[in-house]
Amino acid sequence: MPERHCILVVEDEPIMRMNARDMLEDAGFGVLEAENADTALHLLERHGDEVAALFTDIHMPGSMDGMDLARTVHERWPHIVPVVTSGRLRLRDNDVPDSGRFIDKPYRMAEVVGAVRDALR
C-alpha cells in the first residue's frame, strides 16, 4: 500500500479551499487547510514533518502572499514541495521555489492531482 501523503491547502476563498481539499482527498491524499499564510505557518509548526506538499493560492490577505509562503516553507521545511496557483498571474514552474509547480486558475482535478504527484516524485 502506498504511503499516504499529507498536503497543506492554503486558499482564502472557502469554496475554492473546499474544492481543492475534496479533489486531493478523493485522490487519496491527507489534507490540512489554512485560509492564509499565517495560519499555514502555525499548522506547519505543529505538523511540518507530516506535510509533503504545499498547495497555495498566490493572492491572499495576511502578512504574506503565496509566493512568500512558498519561499518561507522552502527555507524552514525543505522537504515540502510547493504547488502554487493563481487566476491573475501566469508563471512557469521555474518561477516557483524548490522545483515546485504552477497551475492556472480555474484548475481541474486532474491538473491539481497531477501537479502534486509530479512534485512528490
Write down the residue that cell numbers 516557483 correspond to: 96
Q: What pLDDT, on the 0 to 100 scale, is given for residue 1?
A: 28
C-alpha–C-alpha distance, residues 102 and 85, integer Å? 6
* Cis? peptide before 106, omega within 30° of 0: yes
CB 9 within 8 A of CB 29: no
CATH node for 6-119? 3.40.50.2300
C-alpha–C-alpha distance, residues 31 and 91, integer Å? 25
If you average pLDDT over each of 36-50, 77-91, 100-114, which comes out highest? Answer: 36-50
> pLDDT (tens digit, 9 = 90+) per residue, 3-37?
568 999 999 999 999 999 999 999 999 999 999 99
What percent of the chain has pLDDT above 70? 91
Confidence of residue 67 (pLDDT cuts 50, 70, 90): very high
- Domains in the chain: boundaries: 6-119
Q: Is the pLDDT of residue 2 over 50?
A: no
Q: What pLDDT, on the 0 to 100 scale, is given for residue 53?
A: 95
The mean pLDDT value of the chain amounts to 89
